[in-house]
Amino acid sequence: MSIRFTILASGSTGNSTVVEHGGVRVLLDAGLSAKKLEELLGARGVSPGELHCILVTHEHSDHVRGLGAMARKFNLPVYANMNTWNALDRTVGDLPDDLRVAFRTGDRLSFGELEVESFPISHDAAEPVAYNFMANGVKLSIATDIGYMSPVVKEKTRDADVLVLESNHDVEMLRVGRYPWNVKRRILSDVGH
């Protein structure tokens, strides 16, 4: 049995992906309303009650909009590094302590036969991460909102069987677009998109 994944949404309006292996289903980010996430999961034959946990890449709203509601409604543990938790506390609402799981970037987590490894990326967030999902010799790497392909990202994704990278802008369109220069500079920087 191999790793399967389904991208529910990607982009500035919301990000969320389901990764599954061996009966374990993990929600990577919850950047849409809980209602919309339930709808998208249902359309793909996944009941939110079948989810094992939620992994968080970083605290921006397009990655965590439905996080608190999903965790509370379906009693889902939420995994994030401590700096992300500190940045999230204002936005996710009240979560019971048993649903808050902190890990260090670089730690490996095990969910049944599914191994998950976080690694640092460049983005303008508290401590943004990407994830490798590994099982039965197969590796899926998912990196969103990366400012650039750092040596760490290249190393951590080098041997991936499947690599999912999210890119949010075209350099030339951004340069001639209507955004103010300070926004353009941020997006084009090493911690941009």
Q: What's the pLDDT tens digit per position in 7-52? A: 999 987 899 999 999 999 999 999 999 999 999 999 999 999 999 9
Question: Within 13 Å, how many C-alpha atoms sit on residue 4's CB side?
Answer: 11
Q: Secondary structure of 35-81 in the HEC alphabet?
A: HHHHHHHHHCCCCHHHCCEEECCCCCHHHHCCHHHHHHHHCCCEEEE
Task: Write down the H helix ranges in the chain.
Answer: 34-43, 61-64, 67-74, 82-88, 151-157, 171-176, 181-188
The whole-number pLDDT of residue 91 equals 77
Listed in sequence order, the residues at least 6 apart from 169 whose beta carbon sits closer than 8 Å to its beta carbon are: 187, 193
Of the chain, the percentage scoring pLDDT greater than 70 comes to: 90
How does pLDDT run across 3-15, given as a tens digit for each residue? 999 999 998 789 9
Contact 133, 142 (CB under 8 A): yes
How does pLDDT run across 71-95, given as a tens digit for each residue? 999 999 999 999 999 998 777 888 9
**pLDDT of residue 191 exceeding 90:** no
- For the ranges 11-15, 53-57, 61-65, the maximum mean pLDDT occurs at 53-57
The whole-number pLDDT of residue 109 equals 96
Place 173 in a pLDDT band, splitting at 50, 70 and 90. Answer: confident
